[in-house]
Chain A
Amino acid sequence: MIQTINLQKLFATEEVETTALNGISMDVKDGEFVAIMGPSGCGKSTLLNILGLLDNPTDGEYNFYGTAVARMTERQRAQLRKGSIGFVFQSFNLIDELTVYENVELPLLYLKTPADERKQRVEAALERMAIMHRRNHFPQQLSGGQQQRTAIARAVVAKPKLILADEPTGNLDSKNGEEVMKLLGELNDEGTTIIMVTHSPYDAGFAHRIVNLFDGKVVTENFHV
């Protein structure tokens, strides 16, 4: 269960000061599928980065599964993040020099999972994302959809409680996008909490709840059934 109270994020550059987040308070319950929507530049990615412990808020509180993390150091956040959050990015962010298999294996290596268990879990994840036949390919040799499926496999292989996805279908055509959304839906059905940023109302339809942001504030929340 995660909860934010009055999150603020200011970006100060030489010329301007941007308030990217201006008092965001929201709760996400375990097992929820939340979609964050809003016009470009309203602060969606910024919020997701803070929720994913990649960045600290300028002000406000953030309770991550019972731990106050808003003022943690980078090192503490990294420790907490490890194995508990999976990330899916719009631009996939696969490591070019590693094969599909190696990319997916990476989180488990950092978790020091024993070799035989690792192999089994990586293969299961690849099987699940229907990318097993491409296990020895490099990212450049894959289509966008295949790359994103690899990225999702990598996000789930450590069995995180929470998956954060920033426009996961942004670079995909509708068929591949649909496939990715189905996979996310399945993961959610199995109990993984998912927070996803999207511009697509169709994709948002997969979520239980839509949070609409505007100028760094939550404007509306819609609940689905």
Chain B
Amino acid sequence: MLRTYFLLAWRNLLANKLASLINIVGLSIAVACSITVFLTLRNFWTLDDFHANGDRIYMLEYVQKHQDETRTFGDAPALMANALAADFPQVKHTVRVERENVTVYRNESVISEMITYADANFFDVFTFPLAQGSPAALRDPSALILSHDMALKYFPDQNPIGQPFTVLTGSREQKQFVVRGVAADFPDNIGFKFALLTGYHPVHTALKNQDWSSHISAVFVELHPRANIATLARQMKPYMVRYNARNPEKPIESFVFDNLRQPAQNAYDVDRRPAEANHPLISLVFGAIALVMMAISCVNYVNISLGGVTRRLKEIGMRKVLGGTRQQLIGQFMIENLLLCAFALAFGLLITELFLIPLFNDIMTMTISLNVGQNGTLWVFLIGLLLFTAVVSGAYPALYVSAFRPTVVFAGKLKFSDRRTVARVLLVGQFALAFIAVIIGVALTHAGKQWQNIDWGYTPDNALVLRLTDSTQYTILKNELGQLPNVRAVSGAQSHVGESMNSQSVWVGGIEKQALVFDVGPDYPQTLGLQLAQGRFFDPQRRAENTQSVLVNQTFVEQHGLKQPVVGQSMRLDSQLVTVAGVVQDFKWFGSGAERPAILRPAPESRFTYLIADFEPGRGPQVATAVTRIWKAHVPTMTPSWFYQKDVFENFNTTSRKLSAGFGVLSGLALLIACMGLYGLATQHFVRRIKEVSVRKVLGATVSQVILLVNREFISLLLVAGGLANALCFTGIQLLLQQTQPFTGGLRLGLWPYLVANGVVLLTAALAVSVQSWKVATVKLAESLKNPD
């Protein structure tokens, strides 16, 4: 019996090649995306779950108020570690962790790596098994423990143990280490990890002379079992007081403990958090994409199966006549369906393994793997997915088919025109889904593209920024740097675009407004390359006048409703009356965030904490070397801290690029499924009408009349669906953009994605329509009229 079921199922798959192909390919892609999303989300949600004592390990974080914003930071004061360990019996361990970028010279190439300094009890707290060596190596300041990846990278065909390993630290010291251990490969869901690990030992320059103002990457606290973290958190006040006494300019509001296994709600928003945490929005979007794809494939499946019902009426009728019960019919259909879904699952796994996983690991810089043997949840998920797909996509057609009694189908019970309306509504729904998938796909890809090409409002390529440590440095360094042949201009700032900002109240016409205020040198705007929209920049010659002038950005003018002419208007800032000298075009100070009103105000050189050098294109490295040399000559005790302005946004760029690439791939696939479904649907729409068309032709309809007839309905339904979907997407996306304004502020989608998406759908439809129209036009009357249905 079962054998016949499978045989019949197999024949049915073969008999309807196009439908089977669309179903299997569509479902496989959807399944592959679901698996990938599952793996990604599981990684997101189980970050650092593998530490045996994870539920008792906490990161010490602190809250600070920056002007009007309260933010949490993960780089704890170093001295808190010993204080907590000494004062609280419920604290089992504290681990200090500091990280530093080092340079490794290998085979004539210069590689940048991250070295981690950690207390000797690191391996007691964290579950990082060592493949080679012993945790005791952390007691030896010259011993180094490599991660699995580092061992492979630097010692691909050699035992790393006992090998020397030289690095150049951030303070330009050469350090000779000996490799004493290699960690086992990290699990996929690792958030807090290391590459090169050595002991937290005061001989290392980065760890010298730590006091109450020294912050390090992390302070981890492991509690004894059954100890309560809330009790501990309530006793932090004295430490805060002690810290704030030493750091009156940047007081801490409170200390918080953030669990490794169950991160705080706002973990993604914690600055400098030592362990990764992901924004919930990302999970949401990934999940939504996977869900929409599964929905589309399943709806495609239902539709295509239902379309096939008429074709199979004879078989169904026969089975019933021959004594097939309803259960047997459902069984037959479900087995067919399971067979198809099993195929889809197999292909889906293949697509995931061969295509999506490498792609995702590449673009998301994380590791997901289909290690089915390793994790039970994946098995559960896969089997669940198979059953879900089979049941969701098969149940309705199965019940429909089995309940089908040719003589009573709706006749009498339902007016025929009603049934036709139902069919139309279903079709419109399906078309609309296709439209929606395509629009969302194109919009996401487009958004990603836009994010990459954000207009910063200035060209950051030729600016080098040096952080200053005292008030005398600027004047000296400016004079010397200004002499350099490759430097075109030098300026300074107290708060620098991309590094620091400061939100303040401004009174315009007696009304209080908020604006970001940048205190800058008089020639700072030109040096950075800000663009003037109205008026003039500060005049470096006229100091006295400058102290009463400000520049505002265009958003300031718009949001605060300044009337034209803006130049010459006055406002009160810090109880001082200032006049607008000019309006600059909007510029970004961080990432893609929404434009905010901003003011540039001149500041005296003595307050500058940044020096900005505008260099000749391509001369960055030369200028950097010169800067280091000049700095060393004047401040021999400290290493210079400088960066290229373009690196400020590099971080943001890479993150957004990765995300948009990830979304792009998924939505591209969704688009593919939607188009395939649309094609299948179009095919069906026409196949269903073959008989009607034949009858009409016999009755005298011309080919063109027939084509017009079948296309008119198809096209009008398509247009209705398109209208609905476009309206829905437009409002939806608009709402989403509004909700995510802080992240997506600058994002303007415009009409372009809609045009492209509609073009894609209409093109697919046009292709289907022309192929099918041709078939309809050339239908063999003698054959199509022969069969009852």
Contacts and interface: CB of A to CB of B under 8 A. Distances in A.
B713 to A, nearest CB: 10
Interface stretch (A32-40, A88-96, A172-180, A201-209): A88-96
A109 to B, nearest CB: 9
Contact of A107 (B692, B700, B778): B700
Nearest to B780: A55
B69 to A, nearest CB: 64
Nearest to A55: B782
Contact of B700 (A95, A96, A111): A111
B697 interface: yes
Contacts of A81: 698, 700
B412 A91 contact: no
Nearest to B423: A97
B355 interface: no
B785 A89 contact: yes
A93 B412 contact: no
Nearest to B409: A140
Nearest to B411: A140
Interface in A52-89: 54-55, 74-75, 78, 81-83, 87, 89
Given A97-B692, A140-B411, A141-B411, A54 B782 contact: yes
Contacts of B782: 45-46, 49, 54-55
B416 A82 contact: no
Interface string B760-783: 000000000000000000101110
B698 A141 contact: no
A37 B415 CA distance: 40
B323 interface: no
9 smallest CB-CB distances across A and B, nearest first, come from A110-B700, A138-B416, A140-B411, A82-B700, A49-B782, A55-B782, A91-B788, A54-B781, A107-B699
A11 to B, nearest CB: 10
Interface in B689-743: 691-692, 694-703, 705
Contact of B692 (A87, A95, A138): A95
A141 B283 CA distance: 53
Interface string A149-193: 000001000100000000000000000000000000000000000
A193 to B, nearest CB: 18
Interface in B145-202: none
Most interface-central of B699, B785, B788 (chain A CB within 10 A): B699
A89 B781 CA distance: 13
B351 to A, nearest CB: 34
Given A45-B786, A54-B781, A95 B416 contact: no
Nearest to B778: A74
B17 interface: no
A106 B416 contact: no
Contacts of B696: 95, 106, 110
Interface string B92-115: 000000000000000000000000
12 contacts: A49-B781, A49-B782, A55-B781, A75-B703, A78-B700, A87-B698, A93-B691, A93-B695, A93-B698, A96-B416, A106-B696, A158-B700
Contact of A78 (B415, B692, B702): B702
B420 interface: yes
Size category of the binding interface on chain A: 20 to 34
Contacts of B409: 140
A81 B696 CA distance: 12
Contacts of B788: 91
Interface in A112-156: 138, 140-141, 154
A97 B785 contact: no
B705 A110 contact: yes
A83 B698 CA distance: 10
Given A93-B691, A93-B785, A141 B700 contact: no
Contacts of B411: 140-141
Nearest to A46: B782
Given A95-B692, A106-B699, A141 B705 contact: no
A16 to B, nearest CB: 17
A82 to B, nearest CB: 4
Given A82-B700, A83-B700, A89-B785, A141 B695 contact: no
A78 B700 CA distance: 7
A192 to B, nearest CB: 17
Contact of B699 (A49, A55, A110, A141): A110
A30 to B, nearest CB: 22
A114 B418 CA distance: 31
A140 B699 contact: no
A38 to B, nearest CB: 17
Nearest to B789: A91
Nearest to A139: B416
Interface in B394-446: 409-412, 415-417, 420
A118 to B, nearest CB: 13
Contacts of A78: 697, 700, 702-703
Given A75-B703, A78-B702, A106-B699, 11 more contacts: A81-B698, A93-B691, A94-B695, A96-B416, A97-B692, A107-B699, A111-B700, A138-B417, A140-B412, A141-B411, A141-B416
B131 to A, nearest CB: 63
Nearest to B786: A45
A140 B419 CA distance: 12
Contacts of B785: 54, 89, 93
Given A93-B785, A141-B412, A110 B698 contact: no
A87 B695 CA distance: 10
Contacts of B694: 93
A82 B416 CA distance: 29
Contact of B698 (A54, A74, A97, A140): A54
Nearest to B788: A91
Interface string B39-62: 000000000000000000000000
Nearest to A158: B700
A111 B787 CA distance: 27
A154 B698 contact: no
Nearest to A110: B700
Contacts of B420: 97
Contacts of B787: 91
A159 to B, nearest CB: 13
A158 B787 CA distance: 25
Nearest to B692: A95
B121 to A, nearest CB: 78
A95 B692 CA distance: 6
A126 B780 CA distance: 30
Contacts of A95: 692, 695-696
A104 to B, nearest CB: 10
Contacts of A158: 700
Contacts of B699: 106-107, 110, 154
Most interface-central of B409, B416, B698, B782 (chain A CB within 10 A): B698
